[in-house]
Amino acid sequence: MTPLQAPAAASVTSLLAQRRSIRRLAGGALSPEIVARLQDAVARTPSAFGVTPWQIVILQEQRDAFWDEVAAAFRDGLEGDRLERYLNRLDGFRPGAGVILIYEDLAARPALHQNWGLSEQTAHDFVQQGLGMLQLAIWLVLTEEGLVTSLQHWDWLIQDRMATLLELPSERYQLISVLPVGEPAEPARDTPAIDPTQVLRVDPDLRQRQTRRWTTQP
């Protein structure tokens, strides 16, 4: 399948429009230039109080060893039809250019809580917001480079194996998501468009609300 072509000087809105979850990959490459752009995006992603709650791992040359370890974890933790579905999906990822693993650095939450006086819940929320922005930033860089990916959440199956394989101890780093990267080997699936009026309001009339509040007060 022909690789996706990103327009020159692509805008954020055009990249968001192109971004799709693709689960069958066909080669591609994570060139040094692309890796450098990914590094730059990671460095520029905002985080609360400058506390970066993530650790990123990019695998290219060692991706086959990674996928073998994932397959072993699937066989240990799954069975029957579910195992077959997971292994089939894995077969779609293996031909890709590489894989990106996103970890939460668990030291960030207590740092925010203790050093900045945030509640534990607020520190948790800030960390999750940062991780969400990071995943989107990485995804948009890949889209701009004509590559595709999807978010896979296998932490409950592969966390312990990855901790050993990548020397990222589980007491410090928690796997959040896995992004297999490559060129598309399948068309993007059609997804229903969201009606923006259902999730976005522009300049609601607050004066009417104030009037109702004042007239209903005893």
- The pLDDT of residue 23 is 93
For 38, residues 6+ apart whose C-beta sits below 8 A from its C-beta are: 56, 58, 100, 138, 141, 142
188's enclosing H/E stretch is none
**If pLDDT is split at 50, 70 and 90, which confidence band does 190 have?**
confident
Task: Give the pLDDT confidence score for residue 136 in this predicted structure.
Answer: 97
56 and 72 Cβ atoms separated by less than 8 Å: no
Whether the predicted pLDDT of 12 surpasses 60: yes
pTM of the full predicted structure? 0.88
Given a cut of 70, whether residue 191 has pLDDT beyond it is: yes
Instruction: Tell me the CA distances in angstroms from 31 to 59, 62, 133, 209, 212, one per residue in order.
Output: 12, 15, 23, 55, 60
pLDDT in tens, 48-75: 999 999 999 999 999 999 999 999 999 9
